[in-house]
Amino acid sequence: MSGDAKQRIRGFIAGLVEGHAGNTVFSDSESLFQSGRLDSMSAVELVTFLETEFGIDFANVDFDIAMLDSVDLIEGFVAPMLRPAAGGMSARR
């Protein structure tokens, strides 16, 4: 996954955190949802962002919000889908 993509994810989450808790200081490994820093509305916005920004289709994923609980986890989730023919997951670029 390119550093640019990770920066875009981080930038988007910083906006969510700022809107939710007013503090944008967080590390890439820090829990976002389980810690209560972000709520479900943020989860919905994050899913929509990943769909539109990276063309990810969540329809056939065993979705659990825990897999998007930190910037590092999101990166780990998104990266394989951005590669062609990655495990049958659809990805539009």
Partner 1 sequence: MSATLTSSAAVPAKAPESGQPGIRRLFAMEANARIVEFARTTLGRLLIILGFGTLLSLQYSWRYWLPVMLGAAACAYVAEHRMKLVALSTFAVLALDPLWFNSLDAVKGLAKNAGIEHPKAVPFLGYGATLSVFGLATALLALRQRFSDSKLAHRPVLLLLGIFSLLVAAATATTGHVEGIALWALAMTLGAYFWFICYALHDQGSRKPVSVVEHLGLFRPFWGSTSVSFGKGAAYLARFEARTAEELAVTQLKGLKLLLWARVLLYAREAWSTLVHQELGIPWFAEAIAWLTGGRSFSPWTGWASLVLSSVDLALGMAIFSHTIIGSARIAGFRLPRNMWRPLEARSLAEFWNRYYFYFKELLVDFFFYPTFLRCFKRHPRLRLFFATFMAAGVGNALFHFMREIDEVIKHGWYGAVAGYQSYLFYCLVLALGVGISQSRQRKSRPGGSFVRHWVLPCTGVWFFFLVLYVFGHEDRTLSLSERFRFLFFICGGTHER
Among 55, 61, 83, 92, binds partner 1 (CB under 8 A): 61
- The reply on whether position 35 binds partner 1 by CB under 8 A is yes
Does residue 34 contact residue 73 with C-beta atoms inside 8 Å? no
Helices (H), the chain: 3-21, 40-54, 71-82
Among 33, 75, 79, 82, binds partner 1 (CB under 8 A): 33
Does residue 53 contact residue 82 with C-beta atoms inside 8 Å? no
- The reply on whether position 75 binds partner 1 by CB under 8 A is no
> What is the size of the binding site for partner 1 (CB under 8 A)?
26
Tokens of 60: 């056939």
Which spans of this chain sit near partner 1 (rule: CB under 8 A)? 19-20, 33-41, 43-44, 47-48, 51, 58-66, 88
